[in-house]
Amino acid sequence: AYASFNSNVPGLNDPRVRRALSMSIDREFITGKLLRGGQLPAYTFTPPGMANYTTVAPPEWSSWSFERRQAEARRLLAEAGYGPGHPLKVEIKLRNSPDPTLFYPAIQADWKSIGVDARLAQVETQVAYADYRSRNYQVADAAWIADYNDPITFLFLMRSDTGAQNYSDYRNPAYDGLLAKADAEADAKVRATYLAQAEQLMLSDAPVAPIFFYVSKNLVSPSLSGWVDNLSDRHPSSQLCRKKD
């Protein structure tokens, strides 16, 4: 799950503002106290454990105390021209499904603590994504589940020629160039390096704020063999077998 920032909106077109909003989200509170389903706080966009990838270092601030992150967020907002006399005002458009309605009030409170006036607007999921695709939003509650086990299934979302699914309208020629080099690279390790460099660049620009990684929940009988946990949560029946008593 992630928050997308519409880069066409004044204020949100400034990477300092986007970084401030991202670093001031208390992901540990959301995953540990609200969701409580084993979800992992996300500081990168590509989930850990994806095939054909090099681990990407999270932003430096991810290791700071939450109080230090809040202080830095206030500084960045002030540098961008926002403060008590001129607060940043944003609308968060969110899906009216259980998880977003649970954790976005916490994000609203996190942003209030750094002087941001955030208003929540709940809509039906289909309406929400139609608005994201047409850029009829400021901050969007969005999510993505991998179509296949490769980082490009996530990273392509921020490519400038992706179209409607690049909700933030993120455009960085250097990012596009790294993805193009990865597409043309036959060496898997070199390709992984290009993809990691691209994600590192994108995270610095902060068109999105990763919030948490989903988990799969399955109840598996001890008598079943051949079940192997995997990121895609795919379990072909041809590989499953019931153990004999």
Q: State pLDDT tens for residues 146-166.
A: 888 999 999 999 999 999 999
Task: Let me know: does 98 contact 110? Beta carbons within 8 Å.
Answer: no
Read off the pLDDT of each residue in 36-54 and give the average, rounded to a whole number.
92
Partners of 229 in beta bridges: none
Whether residue 92 contacts residue 141, with contact meaning beta carbons closer than 8 Å, is answered with yes
Determine the Cα–Cα distance for residues 124 and 39; give it in Å rounded to an integer.
24
Stronger pLDDT, 147 or 221, i.e. the higher one: 147
SS3 125: helix
Q: Contact at 8 Å (CB) between 155 and 50?
A: no
pLDDT-derived band at 215, boundaries 50, 70, 90: confident
The pLDDT confidence band at residue 230, using thresholds 50, 70 and 90, is low
DSSP, collapsed to helix, strand or coil, labels residue 208 as: strand
Cα–Cα dist 65/146, whole Å: 31
How does pLDDT run across 86-113, given as a tens digit for each residue? 999 999 999 999 999 999 999 999 999 9
Query: What's the rounded mean pLDDT across residues 123-152?
Result: 96
pLDDT at position 49: 86
Q: State the pLDDT confidence band at 231, using cuts at 50, 70 and 90.
A: low
pLDDT at res. 152: 96
DSSP assignments along 56-99, one per residue: PPPPGGGGS-HHHHHHHHHHHHHHTT-BTTB--EEEEEEESSHH
Q: d(Cα 4, Cα 206) in Å, to the nearest integer? A: 9
- Identify the helix (H) or strand (E) that includes residue 193: helix 188-205
Residue type, 79: E
Task: State residue 233's pLDDT score.
Answer: 65
DSSP class of 239: G
What percent of the chain has pLDDT above 90? Answer: 80
Element (H, E) at 245: none
Q: Alpha-carbon dihedral of residues 100, 101, 102, 108, nearest 10 degrees?
A: 90
Q: Which backbone phi and psi does 140 adopt, to 5 degrees?
A: -115, 140
Q: Can you tell me the distance from the alpha carbon of 111 to that of 5, in angstroms, rounded to the nearest whole number?
A: 14
What are 56-83's pLDDT values in tens digits? 889 999 999 999 999 999 999 999 999 9
* pLDDT of residue 223 exceeding 90: no
pLDDT in tens, 167-183: 999 999 999 999 999 99
pLDDT at 225 over 90: no
Q: Parallel, antiparallel, or unpaired for β 117-123 and 224-225?
A: unpaired
Taking each helix axis from N to C end, the angle separating 15-23 and 188-205, rounded to the nearest 10 degrees, works out to 100
- Radius of gyration of the chain, Cα coordinates, nearest whole angstrom: 19
Name the band, by pLDDT with cuts 50, 70 and 90, for residue 238: confident
3-state secondary structure of 225: strand
Whether 232 has a pLDDT exceeding 70, the answer reads no
- For the chain, give the mean pLDDT: 93
Locate tokens 């994108």: which residue? 202
Q: Is the pLDDT of residue 119 over 90?
A: yes
pLDDT, residue 206, reads 98
Reply yes or no on whether the pLDDT at 194 is more than 80. Answer: yes
pTM of the model: 0.89
> Looking at the predicted structure, is the pLDDT value of residue 221 above 90?
no
